[in-house]
Amino acid sequence: ETEVLVIYCGGTIGMKPTPEGLAPAPHYLTRNLAQRPQFHDPTKRPLTTKPTLYGKRIHYVIKEYKNLLDSSEMDMTDWVRIARDIFNNYEQYDAFVILHGTDTMAYTASALSFMLKNLTKTVILTGSTVPLSMPYKDC
């Protein structure tokens, strides 16, 4: 199995639809993914995918920030936190996925490209303008 750390720092991708609009909700993303067969094989440990076409499974762990960040308010301290989370977990995981808001994703990508220079593992920074839980999403 490939081990992937998903760092959910905020953004629309993991928000919960409410009568008042989209809102961050603690652990909503993890629960939502665990209910979807494309992200979770119920015959395996939690958050392990079904085998790919090449017979590989991906097991992922979601590290959700306690206070989900609005990307329009992110600054250098938040970029350092993301980089530090990758460095602190570097030996445990094969790859990293950062779920991020779209407003300042380009700035975060630029900062991380310098802070994570010379890594030998994959780091993906992604987000969405529509929550994963909604049909017709863009993620």
The pLDDT score that the predictor gives to residue 139 is 55
The values of phi and psi at residue 23, to 5°, are: -145, 145
Answer for the pair 65, 9: CB distance below 8 angstroms, yes or no: yes
Tell me if residue 120 is catalytic: no
The pLDDT score that the predictor gives to residue 137 is 56
The pLDDT score that the predictor gives to residue 93 is 98
Q: Which residue among the candidates 2, 12, 30, 77 is catalytic per the annotation?
A: 12
Answer for the pair 97, 124: CB distance below 8 angstroms, yes or no: yes
The type of residue at 15 is: M
Secondary structure class of 7 (helix, strand, coil):
strand
The pLDDT score that the predictor gives to residue 70 is 82
Which regions of the chain are under pLDDT 70? 136-139
Predicted TM-score (pTM) of the model is: 0.91
The pLDDT score that the predictor gives to residue 136 is 66
C-alpha to C-alpha distance for 74 and 125, rounded to whole angstroms? 15
